[in-house]
Amino acid sequence: MAVVKRDCIRCGATFDSRNSRGVYCSAACKSQHHRIRKVTERRVVVGRLEVVFRDVNPNTTQEMLEQMMHDALTPAMLEIIHNNEQLTTTGETQ
């Protein structure tokens, strides 16, 4: 098995990876990066549609993210989402 030189995505240290998918130099960097990412991850739910924003600026409010979602969705998309939501709540099937 070949050893590949990589740079850790958390701390930037160069390390030898025996796995082609390795991106962290240690378990500590992996868990620390996961904790940081979990804190900076925000979710916006519109009907049954859930969008995950990663690496969100701490100054960005939840309302700003929700507005970005509504701006990105076309009226036709919003109608489909809300129609599916109504069907789900009434127990009807398509």
Q: What pLDDT, in 10s, does the model give residues 40-87?
A: 778 888 877 888 887 777 788 889 998 988 899 898 988 888 786 666
pTM across the whole model: 0.45
Look at the chain and report how many structural domains it folds into.
Answer: 2
Is residue 64 domain-shared with residue 78, that is, in the same domain?
Answer: yes
Sequence-ordered list of residues with C-beta below 8 angstroms from that of 45, at least 6 positions apart, any chain: 51
pLDDT at residue 60, as a whole number: 85
How far is Cα 2 from Cα 9, in angstroms, rounded to an integer? 20
Is residue 34 domain-shared with residue 58, that is, in the same domain?
Answer: no
Vertex 23: Cα angle to 22 and 28 (nearest 5): 105
Q: Does residue 23 form part of some domain? A: no
pLDDT at residue 89, as a whole number: 54
Q: In this model, does residue 93 exceed pLDDT 60? A: no
How far is Cα 46 from Cα 87, in angstroms, rounded to an integer? 15
Residue found under tokens 């990105």: 72
